Each structure stands twice: as C-alpha cells, then as structure tokens.
Chains A and B, each alone.
Chain A
Amino acid sequence: MDKQAIFALITKHAGEVIPRLETHDFQPSDSLRALGANSIDRSEIVMMTLEVMELDIPLSETIRAENIGELAALLHEKSVGLQA
C-alpha cells in the first residue's frame, strides 16, 4: 500500500470515528488532535488503519507522528520495513 492510500485510509477512519470530519478536506499537515480527536479517538483511528493494512506493530510506536502526513509516512515505512 503506498503512502497516498494509507493517507486515504486514515482520513476515512477519522470520518468514521468523528462523523463531522466525514466531509473535511484533509491535508497532510492536519493534526488529528487539532481536528478535535482525543487520545481515545486517535488510538481508534490508528488501530482501524493498522487492521486494514494487516500491520502488527506496537501502537506506542505511532506516537512520533505529529500530523496525518507523518502518520501515513510512518505506517508506510513500517509496512515496507516488515516486508523487506
């Protein structure tokens, strides 16, 4: 899965967890926190994304990402790393 597809997955799940974001025009620089997702919402979004990606990594490793673009890049890096 490429970075763009992962980005799309994250934003789709963000919309499912926080319905008012369904129509939001997401940018890579958007932070889930700034968009009103609390820590439980954010963990939920990450878990849903990892599940679809079939990626098994510790959730705590995703903490470094500051925005959705960074999160997509981090998950992409992990998935490529695990395949290698």
Chain B
Amino acid sequence: MNVFAGTASVDVEKLALHRGLDMTRFSNLLMKEKTVALPYEDPITFGVNAAKPLIDALSQEEKDRIEVVITCTESAFDFGKSMSTYFHSLLGLNRNCRLFELKNACYSGIAGLQTAINFILSGVSPGAKVLLIATDISRFMVEEGGEGLTEDWSFFEPSSGAGAVAALISEIPHVFQVDVGASGYYGYEVMDTCRPAPDKEAGDADLSLLSYLDCCEKAFLEYQKRVEGADLSATFGYLAMHTPFGGMVKGAHRNIMRKIAKAKPAEIEADFDRRVQPSLNYCQRVGNIMGASTLMAIASAIVHGDFGTSQRIGCFSYGSGCCSEFFSGVAGQDGQARLRAQNIKEHLDRRYELTMPEYDELLVTNNTVKFGTRNIVLDPDFIPQARTAHGKPTLFLKEIKEFHREYDWVS
C-alpha cells in the first residue's frame, strides 16, 4: 500500500490563528498540518500518484492480473462515470477488469477493502489482484443558512484534508493480513455530515461526534460477539481508527476503554500513547482524508509501531450517514519494511507549505473548477513550487475538455 498526500500543505496552528479560533481549546484537535488540494489536483491525481509506485513495482504478468479497480470516494466529479475508468487508463491496466466506484462517506475505503477481500477469498479467479484506491479531497466551502451548522464547524476547516491511499489486495498479503470474518459492523440512518450539493459540505459536528462514539462501541461489541476471546486491551498491539482529527479518536478510545475495558484514566492515557498514537502520525500532518482515512491510519500504525514480532491491529472505520465497522488484521516486520520503503514521511515533508494569503487565494480560485465544469485549462503557473515539490514525476490535471479530464506528468 502507499499514501499520497498532495503537493501543498498548511500549518494548522497558523490557520487557526489566522481564522481567530479559540486557541485554548484548539489543542483538542491534535492536528499539525493539513494537505490542501490545488486547482490542478483532483481525486484522480491523488489516486494515480498513490498507486503508481505500486503498479511500477509489478511485472507485466502481475500487472495483468489486476482484475478489479475499486475507487472509494465521496469526491467524485461525475454521477455516472466512475473514476476507476481514469485510474485504469492512466495506470495502463489490462482491459479484462471490473471498474467501479463505491460511496459511503468516510466508510468507503473499508467498504472497498472488504469487497476486494471477499473477491479474493471467493477464489473465482485464483491469482487475481484488486487495485483499491481510496481518494478524497475537501474543497472547503460551507453550506450556509442551515441552523444545524454549529460553531464547532470551525474545527472542520483546520482538519479537512486531501489524500489518497492505494493498495493491492491479493492472496499473498505482504503488508497487512486481514483476519477473515473478524468484523463487527453497525449502521443506521443519521443526518450528521454530508455533501448535499456539489462542492458543499455540511454537517452537525456534535451529532457526528456522538454517532462516531456510539458506533465505535457497538461495532466493537459486535466484533467481540463474533470473534471468540477478543479482548479490547489484550488482543490488539495497535488500534487504527478513522481519524477526522486526532481528538475525536482520543475521545472514542477513552469511551470504549472506560466502558468496555473498565480502565482507569491514567491507564487509558498510557494506552492511547502506546497503542493509538502510532496510527495518528500521518493524519496529524494530512488532515481528514475521509474515505482513505482508516487506511492511512493503518499505514501509519504499521510504519510507526514496533513490529519486531507480528502484531494484530484493531481497526475501526466510521462513515457519516452512517455505517461503521470494527475489524482486525496482522502486520509483521516484512510488511513494515515494505511500507517504510515508500518513504511516506519524506513525501509529507516535501509538500510546499502555503502562506495564509496563498491559502486564502486558493479558496477563491477553488471556484474555478466547480463540479460540472465542462471546459477549462488549468494554470500551471499557480503556486508553481508545488508542481515540482516531490522531485519526481507527479500527475496533475491539465485541462477539462468537453467534461473529459486530461492529465499530464510533471517533473
């Protein structure tokens, strides 16, 4: 698997100061930086840039065994055509391939992962691989006028990021081996956060937080029912959870440790530092990447944890609306070495840090690539430092011609 988190970022503390947010409570967020999608970046550029190193490492024969491409997203730019078709083309994959897209807010990545795993486990095409791309961007524009919008919505600007995680799912799991059938799922209809109109995000931060906390507990209890002997404190070396912002994970961890593991506050704090913090590292630097967030938390846990001996990771995904799942898998030293070889930290370090005036200008510029844009040529001179930030070929959106998106590699 691999993470791609764009070419530009902002320092979240500077942004919060710039917006005049209450800094005394701001540390609750546990956020440091966030990725900002530039006008010539879209969910396709994020996804292709994440998947490219994985595909390039395959032999032609292996590459031809990719028989499914699943895109997991809430940032699609077309109601009908799936982004998997673009990924398939840009990555040069075999045409005997299923292409489709999945949506369920931030749960999409795990819905896709489980779909991929079930295809592999079904054994209908032995040796086949699935390319899973979870990719999401936030264009921060608040839907105005709803009374459900709380003041805490201001927490969402500093935390909403952009990024993609790509993973190859096959019979031979090198990085993370999912425990077959070890899943507790829990979902119900709730109007917490949503994207009710093109380029708009809306939500009730309170309700979303409470629903996340409820689901985390219920999904784990269902997991425990299905997995004999599962114990929240003892079974998992690490926990990786959907991370809208670190503070939310901290709250959910505290809740389940208190209610299910009956742990005391000091014990909970130490457990958080030991078992949860490794999974938060990337998210603290990228922000909430929605459908890709749980996968990025898993990657972060594997890179930053101690896998001298193989460890089981307890994973929790929550998508507004809502659906959630607690599941688990095992990672070891070899998987860690493979993931570390992707140099994700270096990738994050190389992003261009936007100044506040540049960032504010971007919010206006964002308006130029609205949902439904029919024709546009993107300006390559806008924040040019970002385009070469990675020192290697990076895919960018070049133009939209009669709704068709055209890309080019820039180095």
Contact = CB atoms under 8 A, between A and B. Distances in A.
Contacts of A60: 190, 207, 210-211, 214
A51 B209 contact: no
A51 B206 contact: no
B155 A43 contact: no
Contacts of A51: 258-259
A63 B206 contact: yes
A54 B211 CA distance: 20
Interface in A24-59: 33, 36, 38-44, 47, 51, 58-59
B227 to A, nearest CB: 22
A53 to B, nearest CB: 13
B214 A59 contact: yes
A57 B363 CA distance: 41
B331 interface: no
Contacts of A79: none
A42 B213 CA distance: 12
Given A59-B214, A60-B214, A39 B206 contact: yes
B152 A59 contact: no
Which interface class (under 10, 10 to 19, 20 to 34, 35 or more) fits A?
10 to 19
A38 B90 CA distance: 44
Interface string B227-265: 000000000000000000001100100110011000000
**Chain B interface mostly:** helix
A40 B248 contact: yes
Contacts of B251: 40, 43-44
Contact of A43 (B151, B204, B213): B213
B392 interface: no
Interface string B143-155: 0000000111001
A39 B159 CA distance: 15
B25 A39 contact: no
A43 B152 CA distance: 13
Interface in B17-52: 22, 25, 28
Interface size class of B (residues with CB under 8 A): 20 to 34
Contacts of A40: 28, 209, 247-248, 251
A62 B207 CA distance: 9
A20 to B, nearest CB: 10
Contacts of A42: 206
Contacts of A63: 204, 206-207, 210
Interface of A, helix, strand, loop or mixed by DSSP: helix
Nearest to B190: A60
Contact of B28 (A33, A38, A47): A38
Contacts of A36: 22, 25
A36 B255 CA distance: 22
Given A33-B151, A59-B214, A39 B255 contact: no
B205 interface: yes
Contacts of B206: 39, 42-43, 63
A21 to B, nearest CB: 13
B210 A38 contact: no
A39 B28 CA distance: 10
Contacts of A47: 213, 254-255, 258
Contacts of A58: 210, 214
B376 to A, nearest CB: 38
Interface in B199-224: 204-207, 209-211, 213-214
A36 B206 CA distance: 14
A48 to B, nearest CB: 9
A55 to B, nearest CB: 12
A73 B251 CA distance: 25
A38 B213 CA distance: 15
A44 B255 CA distance: 8
Nearest to A51: B258
Contacts of B150: 33, 39
Given A39-B155, A58-B214, 7 more contacts: A33-B150, A38-B28, A39-B150, A42-B206, A43-B210, A44-B251, A51-B258
10 contacts: A33-B150, A36-B22, A38-B25, A43-B206, A43-B213, A47-B254, A58-B214, A59-B214, A60-B214, A62-B210
Interface of A: 33, 36, 38-44, 47, 51, 58-60, 62-63
Q: Which 4 pairs of residues, A with B, have the shortest CB-CB distance? A: A59-B210, A60-B210, A39-B152, A39-B206
